Amino acid sequence: MPGLNILGTTVGKKVLLQLRRWQELARLRDVSRNTQSRSARMQTSQASPEYPPTAPAIVPFHGTVTVRFSDAIVASSERAKMLCEDGRDPVFYIPFEDIYFELFEKTNAISESALGTAASWRVHAAGASADNFMWAYETPETAALAVARHGAFDPHKARIDADPAEDKQHTPHLPE
């Protein structure tokens, strides 16, 4: 069964259900915040946001994530993690052990974010190359420690296929 394509990432129905569950939890959390007492909300200063962003959720992906560049597989893992942040698309992180680093060249480019300092890699495969194809938090902040020694890939440059594991408990099977 082919998956659905979201911003260059192919995901199956089970992944979409997992993402929708996470979004529903986030919505319920927001509803819970909105029910704070009026006096607590009145104490919030006008200069600060009423509801600060929540910490990112990092969850294991149950299935296989395969990353391709120019038809070459550059990473494949059954141990991927999904990082979900408020207002952003989820990002798959692949353990370093499952990335074919012989196809990558580390660059001097770094970026800073609330998650830490990220280093970037250039990919060379099938006669083509792309800068800033992969990044990884080499010095992650506490909220991102679960994705230390994991790489993420630019969905505009990579083909990222997420194939969820079969849910044996809820998938009907024909008797043999």
pLDDT at residue number 166: 82
- Asked if residue 23 belongs to a domain, the reply is no
Which residue has 């994530």 as its token pair?
Answer: 65
- Asked if residue 151 belongs to a domain, the reply is yes
pLDDT at residue number 55: 73
Which two three-digit tokens encode residue 147? 């994705």
- Asked if residue 121 belongs to a domain, the reply is yes
- Asked if residue 50 belongs to a domain, the reply is no
Say how many CA atoms lie within 13 Å of 99 toward its Cβ. 23
120 φψ region: left (φ > 0), alpha (ψ -120 to 50), beta (else): beta
pLDDT at residue number 104: 98
pLDDT at residue number 152: 98
- Whole-model pTM? 0.69
Give, for 125, the enclosing helix (H) or strand (E): strand 116-125
- Enumerate residue ranges in the chain where pLDDT < 50: 1-5, 7, 31-49
* CATH number of the structural domain spanning residue 86: 2.170.150.40
- Reported as a single tens digit per residue, the pLDDT across 67-118 is 999 999 999 999 999 999 888 899 999 999 999 999 999 999 999 998 999 9
Our count of domains for the chain comes to 1
Contact predicate 81/93, CB 8 Å:
yes
